[in-house]
Structure 1
Amino acid sequence: MLNLPDRLGMRLNGAQFANLHTFLAVARHLSFSQAAQELCLTASAVSHRIARLEQALALRLFERLTRRIRLTAEGERLYQVLQGFEAQLQEALQPLTTQVSGALSLYVRPSVAQHWLVPRLADFQQRYPQLSLDIRTGNDPVDFRTRPVDLALLYGHGEFPGLVSRLLMDEQIAPVCSPQYAERHGLIGHPERLAQCTLLHDALAWEHAAFDAEWQRWAREQNLQQLLPASHLTFDRSDLCSAAARHHAGVAMGRQRLVQPLLDQGALILPLGGFSQAAGQGYYLVHPPREPLAQRVRVMVEWLRECALS
């Protein structure tokens, strides 16, 4: 059986390039109608272009289901190949210069962006003044098909199906609260008094996490599950938990890389001892399986790794 590059070389002609562009739009959206809107065509015209492409390549690229479509294995392979070509073409069209230029989109969890990434961005801007960086934040799973994202920085366990993930830095966790809250509850050195406290939860700590996943993981490691109280407040960001803790609302599960400045300032303390490793959890750089990565993405990866070591 021929591989995809062989098939492309043997069966493509000039008339098919428009069909390949159409295929990319359909594959991104997994929808003929949404691709038609993007391309200013009718859904029927999009469907006809895909049919002509499938005929020319002698490949079935999509499975037509009752109310949706999905890529076949051959369609997925073609999509990955074309995405790589598209990235290389964009880079080749950049003006020749000794400096990295162009646009780069980075998707980051809000807490990581605010407390770890943003304070370091001035250095990146000074090093790469011709690179336009677009930072987007959110808690939704990143969809590289439908969002113009080059790279994502995510907190989790490293399992992102269909994507390449590289550990950037690990994390350590520990309960944190304000000095006043700890004094009021007699909490310092007395984990049993957690039962009378309010716990502050990041309900979206990582994809598919339970609302109290971080606290439960810490409690299991400390053999303190029976002490976790029913009283709690939940948020959708870790930094909101630490902000609530700073204002005496309860005890948050602090991530060291995010709360260390507040500990240094004395706004938060570690009432039950120091940090412990967040087993299996860390910050990962995630992107589609494109090789080689565009230069603008490579310099961002290298810079983030340098920041993680400092």
Structure 2
Amino acid sequence: MATGAQLTASQFANLRTFLVAARHASFALAAQELSLTPSAVSHRIARLEDSLGLLLFERLTRQIRLTTDGQRIYAALQQCWDSLHAALHGGDLLAGNVTVHARPSIAQCWLVPRLAGFTALYPDISLDLRVGNEQVDFRAGQVELAIHYGDASFPGLASQHLMDESLAPVCSPAYAHEHGLLDRPENLKNATILHDTLAWPACAPDAEWQSWAAALSPAITLPTRSLRFDRADLCALAATHHAGIAIGRRQLVQPWLDSGQLVLPFGGFNVASPQAYHLVHAARSPLPARVQVLMEWLLGQAQER
């Protein structure tokens, strides 16, 4: 690899290609962004690896993954790229890409319906939204911000409280009438309850139902008949189709309540969730301006309701 002023246009292109491929964790997606073929991306990465004498990616079946060296170089190169971008734009870095990770339910029900407002305010910031139930690994630098539902313990990371959550059973109006549920929580024994088995990290499969039931006086005995999902939004969707009664999170199910597809048979959201939503990112100071404005916008959205 040439150093200092000897960095050639070809080597610069290889570094840019590496940044994009690492961010997407995909040669094919990098090729789309860069208007190249996947083969051209692969060749550029191979040339960069040869020049560095390092293996940057593990080539797995149908996927790639940064090696330890790749993670280290990606993190350093991303910081350099941010600094260069800032210098070229007079210190204003309200442009570029921000990769955000969120659990599927909060992404679909809360975040995605609001994104048009962000892009209208910041048209030069591109958001790359990744969803999944897996834990986020910030060490590789591929995710810059995560929306986490759980407790506030994030060792080695920085976090900011986004919003609280409250719980209440929800079902379709027809299901409530059919099973005599309106104002009669004791009739749950005749119902099918819907579980989000991955409500938060390392929770029991029925954790949300147990939290709600324990807050009642007297406590309710839950039925054993159930359907299980790994997403809160799928529980709510199943409830709209009369499959049973789910624990609704207010931040997620309010649109279904507003439309009348779901009702609150036992009253409103009077049980606080033991968990909350947090914005989590690597402990990096200062944060890139594009990440900072996204966090500020998210906090503003959380305060609207």
TM-score bracket for this pair, using the shorter chain length? 0.7 to 0.9
For residue 164 of structure 1, report the CA deviation from its aligned partner.
1.7
Kindly provide the amino acid, as one letter, of the partner of residue 96 in structure 1: H
8 Å Cα contact 1:174-1:254 kept in structure 2: yes
1:212-246 CA-to-partner distances (Å, cap 9, x unmatched) read 11111111111465520101111111110000001
Query: Which position in structure 2 is the counterpart of 1:208?
Result: 202
Aligned CA distance change for structure 1 residues 39 and 283 (closer, same or farther; 3 Å) = farther
Residue 177 (str. 1) matches residue 171 (str. 2): yes
Q: For structure 2, list consecutive stretches of 5 or more residues without a partner in the other structure.
A: 5-14, 16-21, 23-44, 56-67
Q: Give me the whole-angstrom Cα distance separating, in 2, the residues matched to 1:38 and 1:271.
A: 63
Determine the structure 2 residue equivalent to 1:247.
241
C-alpha deviation, 1:161, in angstroms: 2.6
| Secondary structure of the structure 1 residue equivalent to 2:215 | helix
Does 2:173 correspond to 1:158? no
1:194 is aligned to 188
Distance 2:179 2:141 in 1: 47
Q: What are the equivalent positions in structure 2 for 1:55-204 lying under 5 Å apart?
A: 83=75, 87-94=78-85, 95-96=88-89, 98=92, 100-146=94-140, 148-204=142-198
1:60-99: CA deviations, max 9, x gaps? Answer: xxxxxxxxxx9xxxxxxxx7xx95x655422211131556
Q: Distance in 2 between matches of 1:122 and 1:147?
A: 26
- Where structure 1 has 5 or more consecutive residues not aligned to the other structure, the ranges are 1-13, 15-20, 22-27, 29-35, 48-69, 71-78
**Counterparts of 2:114 and 2:302, CA distance in 1:** 11
Question: What is the identity, as a one-letter code, of the residue corresponding to 1:196?
Answer: N
Per-residue deviation, residues 109-162 of structure 1 (Å, max 9, x unmatched): 111111111111111111111111101100101111246100001111222232
Q: What percent of counterpart residues are identical?
A: 49
**Corresponding residue for residue 18 of structure 1:** none
Q: Which residue of 1 aligns with 2:49?
A: 40
Partner residue in 2 for 1:281: 275
- Does structure 1 conserve the Cα–Cα contact (< 8 Å) formed by 2:185 and 2:266? yes
Which deviates more, 142-151 or 239-248? 142-151
> How far off its partner does 1:280 sit?
3.1
Q: Tell me how many residue pairs correspond in the alignment.
A: 249
What code does the residue aligned with 1:231 have? Answer: R
Q: Secondary structure at the match of 2:138?
A: coil
Distance in 1 of aligned mates of 2:168 and 2:47: 47
The one-letter code of the counterpart of 2:182 is I
Cα RMSD (Å) of the superposition?
3.1
**CA distance in 2 between partners of 1:180 and 1:220 (Å):** 27
Q: 1:132 is paired with a residue of what secondary structure?
A: strand
